[in-house]
């Protein structure tokens, strides 16, 4: 079974027959013991340290449909190497562009994405509200704001509603998370431990959505809620909105409240807060375990992984764009 590999140490990667050879390098440039990874076991690579590689390696990764996602020193997602599309479909591209270019079509899809994201936020808040964490004020606020989603007349006003929903949602984090204060949402750089966790895990959710889009006929640069722009895969941002409450936020609450990630796992020097290697390794291990967890799918009647749920969401959106069925965003039922 294919899986994700996370490279935290700087080093060199090369091809050795049909195997990936990773040689870690220390601060003085001394090579460590090489590690060998059979390429058929690799789904994608996440690079958090400096990686030295040549075009021959990327040609090899491209042929094997292996994506590589890069993060900088501040844990910001900076870009991806993605193999050429192997599911190209002119009909899909034309239909997706048409849905974006027609304001009513685009707005309708964006409203569904926003509604799905807000529903999953409320699902989280109700879960904790039933466990003696008072989130009733935020639940009421978001439920009121959700009523105006269908009344939005353009993307700008819808984004304003979405922003207010997320502000109310983040206000509840103080009640949910023990021993850590979030304060205001800060990103570049994060100002405290909770913000650092949100930024890091949100990046993981974004790259997950990008990977799943790659395995469908959807074009990742044509989006509906977020404005398409240069040098970003904005459709992954759209889909990540639905899954961040279920995958990213629930993981953050669990790791912090169970003290699996502690204050010693953060670096708070120079007016910023970043996860140390110890913290990142704990988070990505828990992230992988979460993605491989399975639940009984209501419609399919069988168990599917959380990772597969994201791919199913891509398929649903693609079918809607092609006029095959109405798009209903994923809403947690548990």
The whole-number pLDDT of residue 231 equals 61
- pLDDT (mean) for 257-284: 92
61, 81 Cβ separation under 8 angstroms: yes
Whether omega for the bond prior to residue 150 falls within 30 degrees of 0, making it cis, is: no
Is the confidence at residue 224, as pLDDT, over 90? Answer: yes
pLDDT digits (tens, 9 = 90+) for 159-213: 999 999 999 999 999 999 998 988 888 887 888 999 999 999 999 999 999 999 9
Please compute the mean of the pLDDT values over residues 98-111 and round it to a whole number.
97
Does the pTM exceed 0.85? yes
Length of the chain, please? 334
Residue of 24, 76, 29 lying closest to 202 (CA atoms): 76
pLDDT at 137: 97
Distant-in-sequence, close-in-space partners of 299: CB < 8 Å, separation ≥ 6 = none
pLDDT digits 0-9 by tens, 59-86: 999 999 999 999 988 778 889 998 887 7
Q: How high is the pLDDT of residue 183?
A: 86
Look at residues 258, 255, 249 and name the one whose alpha carbon lies nearest to residue 122: 249
| CA distance linking residue 249 with residue 31, whole number of Å | 38
Beta strands at 3-7 and 77-81: parallel, antiparallel or unpaired: unpaired
């Amino acid at each position: 079974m294919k899986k994700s590999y996370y490279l935290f140490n700087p080093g060199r990667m090369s091809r050795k027959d049909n195997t990936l050879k990773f040689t870690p390098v220390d601060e003085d440039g001394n090579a460590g013991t090489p590690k060998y990874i059979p390429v058929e076991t690799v789904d994608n690579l996440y690079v958090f340290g400096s990686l030295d590689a040549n075009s021959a390696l990327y040609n090899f990764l491209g042929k094997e449909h292996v994506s590589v996602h890069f993060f900088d020193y501040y844990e910001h997602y900076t870009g991806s190497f993605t193999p050429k599309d192997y599911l190209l479909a002119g009909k899909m591209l034309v239909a997706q562009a048409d849905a974006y270019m027609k304001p009513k079509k685009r707005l309708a899809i964006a409203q569904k994405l926003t509604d799905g994201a807000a529903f999953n936020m409320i699902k989280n808040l109700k879960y904790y509200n039933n466990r003696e964490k008072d989130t009733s004020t935020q639940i009421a606020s978001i439920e009121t704001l959700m009523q105006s989603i269908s009344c939005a007349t353009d993307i700008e006003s819808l984004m304003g509603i979405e922003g207010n929903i997320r502000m109310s949602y983040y206000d509840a984090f103080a009640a949910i998370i023990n021993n850590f204060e979030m304060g205001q949402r800060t990103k570049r750089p994060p100002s405290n431990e909770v913000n650092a966790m949100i930024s890091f895990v949100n990046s993981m959710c974004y790259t997950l959505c990008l990977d799943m889009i790659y395995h469908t006929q959807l074009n990742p640069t044509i989006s509906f809620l977020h404005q398409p722009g240069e040098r970003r895969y904005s459709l992954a941002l759209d889909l990540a909105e639905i899954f961040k409450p279920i995958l990213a936020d629930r993981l953050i609450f669990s790791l912090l409240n169970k003290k699996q990630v502690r204050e010693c796992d953060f670096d708070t020097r120079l007016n910023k807060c970043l996860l140390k290697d110890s913290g990142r390794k704990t988070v990505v291990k828990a992230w992988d375990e979460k993605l491989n967890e399975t639940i009984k799918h209501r419609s399919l009647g069988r168990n599917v992984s959380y990772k597969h749920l994201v791919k199913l969401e891509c398929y649903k959106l693609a079918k809607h764009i092609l006029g095959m069925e109405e798009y209903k965003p994923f809403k947690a039922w548990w």
